[in-house]
Structure formats: structure tokens, C-alpha cells
Amino acid sequence: MRIEGKVVLITGASQGIGAACAAEFASHGARLSLTARTEEGLRQAAPKDALLTAGDLTRDETRRIVVSRTLERFGAIDILINNAGAGLYGPSWSTPMEEVRWLMELNFFAPLALTQSVLTHMRSRRTGVIVNIGSIAGKVPLPWMTLYSVSKYALGALTEGQRMELRREGIRTLMVCPGYVKTAFQQNARGGQPPETVLLSRRFAISSAECARAIRRGVERDARTVVTPRAAWLLVLAMRLFPALVEGRMAAINQTA
């Protein structure tokens, strides 16, 4: 898909990957509708002429307003980037259920509900792209954040299922699985810290701008899945071919937490 002139709705756009996507897509001629929890953060991150809507995406009212304002301003939504999300560290067997429900509401149910709202419009035009920002944890379970992995696996299954559901409608879906990206993810995550070995691996992290560039290129070339950095595909492949070996290594890392 050609980006120039397209209307792109991006969630979680006040920082990190969302803000980088706003800058990347704007630099290629997209018209932007941006949403995040705080208006101040949006104003600091937003490119010129972007439509800004602050609010909590886990609320039906916020999602309704975001979609209706976007359509009122631009008359279309060509690309939806479901980027808003959060992390949760800690054992699955001891995490309070209210924390689990909070995580799933933000990482899975909010993207699903927003997608349903946007698809009503896209299906009428028989065109559009749904981009879901997952994680490498949605391909390889990370035992220091098992429940986060669950939320991203669910988002990945949704992306792949909708790709088949919507194939005849002219609508495409793209799953993005970043590895380590230089953002405030760890500082904003709930439940503690990852193992020291994982923290040390941050020196290999890519920038949010590099991640956004990979996402934009994925949209342009009609990709099904984007894993970034590309070297992370090796971990995905290892998990498929040698699952016991990878699980053993992950368990050993988790024991250092």
C-alpha cells in the first residue's frame, strides 16, 4: 500500500513505538489521527496537523469518540495501528486476577473492539490495513512475563484469523513482533523487573524509529508478519525446531530473576 495521502489511526501515540510511527508515517505523507491517555503527551509527540484524541482505550466511549472524530475530520480510515499496550512481570500462578484482567483489557480486548469499530467502515470501502503491534513474546513465551506473552499470543491469533476472515473484503492484517526496542516499556510495566540477563541484553536493542521504519515498510510491501530486528527470527525458528532446548534456556534465565 502506498502511504502518501492515507489516513492512519495510531493508538498509544504519545511515546515509544507509537510516537515513532506517527513521525515515520507523517514523513511519508500520511494524514494522522493519534490517541493516547494524556493530551499533553500527544501534543509533545504529534506531527503538525495531526488529529489528537486523549482518553482510555479500554473504555467503549473513548473508542467510539476516536473513530467518529477521525471519520469526521478525514472521511476515511485506511490504516489502523493498534500499538497501545503494557507489560506485566511476575509468575502467572501468583499474579492477582485484577492485574490479569487489566492486562488483557488493554493488550487484547481494546485492540479487538477498536478493530471491530474500524472494520465497519473499511468493509464498506473494501480496503484497509489492520496493524497489530505484538512482541517477540507472542512467538516465544517469556517465563518472566508469561501473562504478557499470553496477551500477545492472543493478539497474534486474532491477526492471523482476521487475515483469513477478511481476505475477500480487500482488507489486510499485519502482525508486528518487536524484540528489544529502546522505549520506556520496562519502566512502565507492572509487577517488578525482568532477570538481570534480560536487562543486559538491552544493549542490542533497536531504536523506536528503526522499529517504526520496519512497520511502515511492512505496510508498503503487504507483509503478513514483521519481526524486528530480523535477527529475532532465529529465536522464533529455534523455538519451532528445538522447543525443549529453548524452553530449558528460558527457564534457566528466569531462575536468575
Mean pLDDT of the chain: 95
What confidence category does residue 131 fall into, taking pLDDT thresholds of 50, 70 and 90? Answer: very high
User: Is 148 among the catalytic positions?
Assistant: yes
Block residue for cell numbers 511502515: 216
Distance CA 12, CA 18 (A): 5
pLDDT at 241 over 90: yes
Residue 198's pLDDT is 79
The arithmetic mean of pLDDT across residues 115-139, rounded, is 97
Could you give all domains of the chain from N- to C-terminal order, each with its CATH number?
7-254 (3.40.50.720)
Confidence of residue 186 (pLDDT cuts 50, 70, 90): confident
Q: Which residues of 5-19 are buried (b: 16+ CB within 10 A; e: fewer)?
A: ebbbbbbbbbbbbbb
pLDDT digits (tens, 9 = 90+) for 49-84: 999 999 999 999 999 999 999 999 999 999 999 999
pLDDT above 70: residue 210 = yes
pLDDT tens per residue, range 4-27: 999 999 999 999 999 999 999 999
Which residue of the set 89, 148, 153, 180 is catalytic?
148
Q: List C-alpha distances in Å: 89 to 57, 188, 256.
A: 22, 11, 14
Q: What is the mean pLDDT of residues 235-240?
A: 96
Q: Which amino acid, one-letter code, is at 88? A: L
Per-residue confidence (pLDDT) for residue 257, from 0 to 100: 59
Residue 256 reports pLDDT greater than 80: no
Q: What integer pLDDT is reported at residue 102 of this predicted model? A: 97
Mean pLDDT (whole number) for 205-233:
96
pLDDT at residue number 204: 75
For residue 150, pLDDT over 90 is answered with yes
pLDDT of residue 201 exceeding 80:
no
Nearest in space to 70 (alpha carbons), one of 114, 18, 40: 114
- Give the pLDDT confidence score for residue 193 in this predicted structure: 81
Residue 105, pLDDT > 80, answer yes
